Structure 1
């Protein structure tokens, strides 16, 4: 991404954008604003929010990065992570339902006033 980012853009900021974000320090970043402050050629100050794996903002930051190193992040991937049920939770539910059906145990299905 060599064009200047716009507010609302979702970016991957990693070691390509600046060495301070290399390896496990990489960020998914939602741009809020760009500074017009003079910088070295090809560099820019960005203000925005760091997003976690679920796409939720965890911190507001100002970062100094190379335009040529910025990559667009796919919003659909972040949203999919946010809405996808955990594999562990869904496999537990299926296993629990199968166990109840096989044994005829319907104790979890009693109505609140049912004493049994």
Structure 2
């Protein structure tokens, strides 16, 4: 009896996966991808693979086609299918973890001083 997709660990067309930093350091900000195919004929390190797929936005719409080099053990199957115009949010997708906005000498966010008050 042939192995199921889950047992073999292979990804097939239509699978929706979540890529986080567990799959590769490039996914510090997680993305969701709909798999086109797993690319078996490229040389990889043991436990790594190439995926061809579409990066999805929050609505489940394809926004970019990508070829991704990922660690197999770090790829998570995503429950969302993108149908009906809704798509579940990705875990860990909250406020940006980047730097806070810069503030200028007067507390302004642009770095420019506040305009002087004109008295008449």
Q: TM-score scaled by structure 2?
A: 0.60
1:47 matches 2:56 = no
2-structure distance, mates of 1:35, 1:83: 29
2-structure distance, mates of 1:28, 1:50: 6
Number of matched pairs = 80
| Residue equivalent to 1:8 | 14
Give the 4+ runs in structure 1 shifted more than 3 A: none
Q: CA RMSD in A?
A: 2.0
Q: Which sections of structure 1, spanning at least 5 residues, go unmatched?
A: 85-116
Residue of structure 2 aligned with 1:67, choices 68, 72, 90: 72
Question: CA 1:75–1:83 in structure 2 vs 1: closer, same or farther (change >3 Å)?
Answer: closer
User: Secondary structure in 1 aligned to 2:12?
Assistant: coil
Structure number, greater radius of gyration: 1
2-structure distance, mates of 1:3, 1:31: 13
Structure with the largest fraction of helix: 1
